[in-house]
Structure 1
Amino acid sequence: MKMDIVKCKGLLFLGLLVLEFSWFVHGNVVFPVFHKFKGRENSSPSTLKSHDTHRHARFLSAVDLTLGGNGLPTESGLYYAKIGIGTPAKDFYVHVDTGSDILWINCAGCNGCPKKTDLGALYDPKSSNTSSDVGCGQNFCIETYGGEISSCKPEIRCSYKVNYADGSSSSGYFVKDHVTLNQVSANFQTAPTIGDVIFGCGNQQVDNREDSSTSALDGLIGFGRANSSMISQLASAGKVRKMFAHCLDNVKGGGIFAIGEVVQPKLTKTTPLLSQMYV
């Protein structure tokens, strides 16, 4: 599958690679992203402004990579992606955030999760044949917390809590399950591929936005550099290289997020450019 380069502003890489627009994704994981307010032209400017202010407040690091293309303060970064989780796979729509690390999903029985959302779904570990808890003594938990937890016992789950600058938060426990994504083959076609990923099962959410009950998504996917991020886990498993790129359509909204290496296709014919021309 080739990227639609015509309407894209550019490609951005964690590895600080500068690429020409003629390069394509090859042999790695991609998934489409959507503008959150696409198709909601009647949304008031105040609603968009409130959402964007909230989005900027949720960044956890100095990395602030705007995902929009038109530069309007009311429309920057309002993008989400669809991923499949569990067996059988169920689709979830998560906010794309390059300023945080972990992937977390609203879970069944969650306290504070929106009762009604645009896309609403809750993840239930019990309904997945491949779900398993992550114990506080497992390597993932020890690395995430920077050392062993003194009160850890074999039956205790590895918990998480993410606090954001605006007072909102997400907390719960880590689970491990299949995540289904699209992988690009040699002929630029995509096919589903499965990777085991540890992510947060959110059972307590605090959101201070007035519109949180109607505009919330199913969770959040972070693209930070920590070992707990999905991209780091996939890279550690040998699925992809630890880098990502995005190609976004600032006209219609949406685009593609690519995880892994971007390579230049082989050229069969080139046209030299002359430095001087004489008539």
Structure 2
Amino acid sequence: MAWACTCTANRSFSFVHVVLLFFVLVWGSQRCDGFGTFGFDIHHRFSDPVMEILGADGLPEKGTLPYYAAMTHRDQLVKRRHLASDVDQTTPLAFAYGNRTYQLPPFAYLHYANVSVGTPSTSYLVALDTGSDVFWLPCDCSSCIRGIKFSNGDIQDFSIYSPNNSSTSKKIPCSSSLCSPRRCAIEATECPYQVVYLSNGTSSTGILVEDVLHLTTDDGKQENVEANITFGCGKVQTGSFLEGGAPNGLFGLGMENISVPSILASQGHALNSFSMCFGLDGLGRIRFGDNGSLGQGETPFNLRRLHPFYNVTITQISLGGKPADLEFSAIFDSGTSFSYLNDPAYTQISESFNMLTKEKRHSNTSDSPFEYCYELSPNQTIFELPKLNLTMKGGDQYVVFDPILQLKFDNGEQGYCLAVVKSEDVNIIGQNFMTGYRIIFDREKMVLGWKESNCYNDEGTNTLPINPSDSPAISPDTGVTPEATSGTSNTSRIPAADPPSKNHSPKLNFFTLSLILILFPFFAIV
């Protein structure tokens, strides 16, 4: 997610309905401790489960162009240590509820995590964002979302953090190295923070606190550990946070000292690295301390002294086996659902894709966030896409497995769009371009790593179910299940999504797109 921010710190009827309610209820019932590599459940904002929870009365139908236009509205508003010697580097770690992850599109099409904080432990549904640094929770708040409403009228309350309710909570003073004293009246006072995002007046304001984050080893032993982390006690939330985006908190995964990965590494709990896996079925995993595996692709980060991001250099674009040399930099951002490119990269990919696509191009309306959309014939069950491949600095290849979104147009016709939005400034590789990969954010070696994965059978994990059907019935809204594009073919065969039911389309529309957030700060926290 791309966010503009300033801060005084240095830096969530049917079976699905019941399943999601179960997660909300059980999140506060467990606690744990751990040591090594950490992971936790994550979720995505705009799936059918959340649409059932939040209701869809008066919203554009999922899968229509207005649906996507609404989801991308906020996007368009954005202008963008070393491990301790005694740590066992072979033992992965996870959060208390395991490392299983979920994509829940109805919450701003973001990836969400269930994190357990405090004593006694309480769970929170937080958006995961590699594009920002500060972890904050709604806390003794005067302006925040306090629950979710089911379509039948039932309401499930969110957890609201309070320092007074946790015996391990401490307020961070202005004298802390994680606090900028410039806004403190006197050095002894508590440290205020403010994160301002340029997404339609979106912000979080409060004070910094320290408390326990509950973790467990991601192995057969599942030993517990408690890590003391600093985060924002968010007393006032504004903008998108009051409209469904990150309604129960935001988990910054950036490079600054205030981010949780940085704190875990500085305390010797984990390697200064973490991974996120994005499964084609919407399930995945996040693990702290994961520094990758043999055979993965790698490319160095482009380091900047001020405002560092997970920025890499792309040197070549290939569509359908036809390469074009074009060097540009882009930020890998889990907080952005789709990918945003400026020219010349946007024109190179979109026009080449258009030349190689066989389907009839759809006449887009003015509110369409995607410029290149195509119509499927009434009985069409499969179609071919040109293979999109990126060459990274250093020469390693990165195949994009999921460059499209299937949808329903205003006239009821089925089709798909190239899920790339034209940007006027920053280039962002969003989560759709990360689908099918385990992405390694290695801050120790300062490289981005990637390896093709279904997020179930990666080495070094045993907490995901062997059979994906054992997981909750939560899946991406797109209905797209691309086949692997490895091999010599320069096209991918994509099964067309089944026609939507009357009430539950498997596709997306413009309203959902308006709630997709880009969350990364483009100037320093002060």
Partner SS for 1:149: helix
Where do 1:64-143 residues align within 5 Å?
A: 78-108=110-140, 110-117=141-148, 120-141=158-179
The one-letter code of the counterpart of 1:113 is C
Residue 239 of structure 1 is matched in structure 2 by 269
Is 1:34 the counterpart of 2:66? The answer is no
Residue 212 of structure 2 is matched in structure 1 by 178
Where do 1:185-224 residues align within 5 Å?
A: 185=219, 187=220, 190-208=222-240, 212-213=242-243, 216-224=246-254
How high is the sequence identity, in percent, across the aligned residues?
27
Counterpart CA distance in 1 for 2:75 and 2:158 is 19
The one-letter code of the counterpart of 2:280 is N
Partner SS for 1:105: strand
Indicate which of 182, 185, 192 corresponds to 1:149.
182
Residue 274 of structure 1 is matched in structure 2 by none
Is 1:254 the counterpart of 2:283? The answer is yes
Distance 1:77 1:47, change over 3 A: same
Is 1:162 the counterpart of 2:215? The answer is no
Counterpart CA distance in 2 for 1:150 and 1:216 is 26
Counterpart CA distance in 2 for 1:59 and 1:99 is 14
Between the two proteins, the alignment pairs up a number of residues equal to 221
- Greater RCO, CA 8 A, separation 6+: 1
Question: How many angstroms does 1:259 deviate by?
Answer: 1.0
Q: Is the 8 A contact 1:117 1:217 kept in 2?
A: no
Question: How many angstroms does 1:51 deviate by?
Answer: 4.3
Q: Is the 8 A contact 1:133 1:176 kept in 2?
A: yes
Structure 1 consecutive aligned stretches of length 4 or more whose deviation exceeds 6 Å: none
Counterpart CA distance in 2 for 1:258 and 1:55 is 27
Unaligned 5+ segments in structure 1 are: 1-25, 61-66, 267-279
The one-letter code of the counterpart of 2:239 is D
Question: How many angstroms does 1:59 deviate by?
Answer: 8.9
Q: Any idea what the Cα deviations from partners look like across 1:85-109, whole Å, max 9, x if unmatched?
A: 000110011011111001000012x
Residue 228 of structure 1 is matched in structure 2 by 258
Question: How many angstroms does 1:75 deviate by?
Answer: 9.8
Counterpart CA distance in 1 for 2:280 and 2:76 is 19
TM-score by length of 2: 0.38
Q: Any idea what the Cα deviations from partners look like across 1:112-135, whole Å, max 9, x if unmatched?
A: 202433662210110001000000
Counterpart CA distance in 2 for 1:33 and 1:205 is 22
Q: Any idea what the Cα deviations from partners look like across 1:143-178, whole Å, max 9, x if unmatched?
A: xx3xx4375425411111011112211110000000
The one-letter code of the counterpart of 2:264 is L
The one-letter code of the counterpart of 1:50 is A
Q: Is the 8 A contact 1:179 1:197 kept in 2?
A: yes
Question: How many angstroms does 1:68 deviate by?
Answer: 10
Partner SS for 2:265: helix
Give the RMSD, CA atoms, in angstroms: 3.3
Distance 1:102 1:262, change over 3 A: same
Question: How many angstroms does 1:55 deviate by?
Answer: 6.0
TM-score by length of 1: 0.68
Counterpart CA distance in 2 for 1:27 and 1:150 is 36
Counterpart CA distance in 1 for 2:133 and 2:269 is 18
